[in-house]
Chains A and B, each alone.
Chain A
């Protein structure tokens, strides 16, 4: 599905992040090597403290690296950020309470200086894609947690970034909403095939969504194992009951257990 010689979306080479501490420095990330091709859906999974969020933040230029090299679309994370290469979805929706749903989705477009009419049209379309047509004039507090997170996804997709980074976007939601949003995100990826880097601590979520699963382990934060998904590209939630899915989930669980052993 990818042209093989295309430039990778994300390249991480021997990257480390070390936080200085009075007794012993904390190795949040140690010697990470990871290449993400364009159009891949890569999940970073691991127990808390394994550096999965730190790795995502490093790629997004929200955190500096202590050593090594990180390239996003061939640029440094800083330049990639200035080139608006990625959209970032945080754990919390982080919607501005004084803006309507529509105005929240328009925010990044406004910052990029797009004409207002165009920004509004794009925002309406994105809201439609996450199933929120009719909620444009509402304020964030009038929406449920799941709807708020969908608004934040629409906001991240509005300026058509090549890469979508998501930091446990559904972590705070109930399981039913989470399944629903997983399904929607899966369909979105099917349609648009953007590169997605997805942080999660749910095995089922990682297996269901990803084309590749990166299993990480704490102290120091490192990559234990990279699992290529054998599941078909077209997926529905029923897939989770198939032996193939279970085998993959088992493999991820094994990998995680390994890190603790």
Chain B
């Protein structure tokens, strides 16, 4: 049993590890190539005025202060120091920023999901709304969020909303769309025979919605939630850019680029990827629990 489990784990872990090794190899290669010019000009010219070996060049490119492309071990070291050397409530600790971004992401995600379900319910129940709303919903997503974000932030700010609310709004703006599209399809998923069954029971529209449409739509909802929460992270981070926000992974990215702190940018980048992965995994976990309680095969 344990053997089989270990074999299964190896089978699943091996491809991931192979890809990781390839990425690291390319990354180190890229770091050497991209940092070479800077290393020669800024470091080696001073430290080795009489010429340098290839080994000198490689070790310098991989350990520069402000590299064009930081080496993976530099990013790991920066992450580690940020997580360990500073308390959780310090802006120097990346987890602090993760928490800030996660908060606006989650608020936006919940609001976006509710909005998405409400829009979908309105669309499937009214032919007029189907025609009137759907084009606008699609159009809303063709406007770049980068352009919308500052406008929304300024307007909400002038109305006295600050803190989480404006950022959550932007996250919601990206979250609701996949939910709406999936739920319109899901709420229309019941077969004719199931709808007629409810009809013979003289079920009201509300009963048909709760007892038939919504449960039929759940298998459509969860994949869209996974897309939505990943989009929500992007929305929350974009919203942190134009305000000059003090905290959040987006703000970290921005300060990193102000000060040419490339290692810091990459650390924030890795953290945001981990945040996205973690949130998606959490949604997938909830999906498994819910579907199991419904007797899924």
Q: Does A90 count as interface, using CB distance less than 8 angstroms?
A: yes
Partner of A84, one of B197, B202, B215, B297: B202
Partner of B201, one of A62, A96, A108, A139: A108
B196 near A96 with CB under 8 A, answer: no
A88 near B197 with CB under 8 A, answer: yes
Q: Say how far A107's CB is from chain B's closest CB, in angstroms.
A: 7
Q: Does B207 count as interface, using CB distance less than 8 angstroms?
A: yes
Q: Which of A60, A98, A100, A139 gathers most chain B CB within 10 Å?
A: A98
A107 near B211 with CB under 8 A, answer: yes
A111 near B194 with CB under 8 A, answer: no
What is the size category of the interface that chain B forms with chain A?
Answer: 10 to 19
Q: Does B200 count as interface, using CB distance less than 8 angstroms?
A: yes
Q: Say how far A110's CB is from chain B's closest CB, in angstroms.
A: 7
CB nearest to A90 among chain B residues:
B193
Q: Which residues from B are CB-within-8-Å of A98?
A: 215, 218, 294-295
**Once the chains are docked, how many angstroms separate the CA of A110 from the CA of B294?**
18
Q: Which residues from B are CB-within-8-Å of A94?
A: 191, 193-194, 197
Provide the A82-118 mask, 1 if CB < 8 A to any CB of B, else 0.
1010111011101011101000000110111000000
Q: Say how far B200's CB is from chain A's closest CB, in angstroms.
A: 4
Q: Which residues from A are CB-within-8-Å of B297?
A: 141
Partner of B193, one of A87, A92, A97, A110: A92
Provide the A186-218 mask, 1 if CB < 8 A to any CB of B, else 0.
000000000000000000000000000000000
Q: Which residues from B are CB-within-8-Å of A92?
A: 193
Provide the B191-231 mask, 1 if CB < 8 A to any CB of A, else 0.
10110111111110001000110010010000000000000
Partner of B200, one of A86, A100, A110, A112: A86
Q: Does A225 count as interface, using CB distance less than 8 angstroms?
A: no
**Once the chains are docked, how many angstroms separate the CA of A91 from the CA of B191?**
13
**Once the chains are docked, how many angstroms separate the CA of A60 from the CA of B199?**
10
**Once the chains are docked, how many angstroms separate the CA of A140 from the CA of B177?**
34
B215 near A96 with CB under 8 A, answer: yes
Q: Which residues from A are CB-within-8-Å of B207?
A: 111
Given A107-B211, A111-B207, also A88-B200 (CB < 8 A):
yes
B200 near A60 with CB under 8 A, answer: yes
**Once the chains are docked, how many angstroms separate the CA of A87 from the CA of B294?**
26
Q: Say how far B288's CB is from chain A's closest CB, in angstroms.
A: 15
CB nearest to B219 among chain A residues:
A98
CB nearest to A165 among chain B residues:
B200
**Once the chains are docked, how many angstroms separate the CA of A107 from the CA of B200?**
12
Provide the A41-74 mask, 1 if CB < 8 A to any CB of B, else 0.
0000000000000000000111000000000000
**Once the chains are docked, how many angstroms separate the CA of A100 from the CA of B207?**
18
**Once the chains are docked, how many angstroms separate the CA of A61 from the CA of B200?**
8
B295 near A100 with CB under 8 A, answer: yes
Q: Which residues from A are CB-within-8-Å of B215?
A: 96, 98
Q: Which residues from A are CB-within-8-Å of B194?
A: 94, 96
Q: Which residues from B are CB-within-8-Å of A88?
A: 196-197, 200
**Once the chains are docked, how many angstroms separate the CA of A60 from the CA of B200?**
7
A107 near B295 with CB under 8 A, answer: no
Q: Does A178 count as interface, using CB distance less than 8 angstroms?
A: no
Q: Which residues from A are CB-within-8-Å of B212?
A: 96
Q: Which of B196, B211, B218, B295 gathers most chain A CB within 10 Å?
A: B295
B295 near A62 with CB under 8 A, answer: no
Q: Does A81 count as interface, using CB distance less than 8 angstroms?
A: yes
Binding site for B on A (CB under 8 A): 60-62, 81-82, 84, 86-88, 90-92, 94, 96-98, 100, 107-108, 110-112, 139, 141
Binding site for A on B (CB under 8 A): 191, 193-194, 196-203, 207, 211-212, 215, 218, 294-295, 297
Which 10 pairs of residues, A with B, have the shortest CB-CB distance? A139-B295, A98-B294, A88-B200, A94-B193, A108-B201, A111-B203, A111-B201, A82-B202, A98-B215, A94-B197
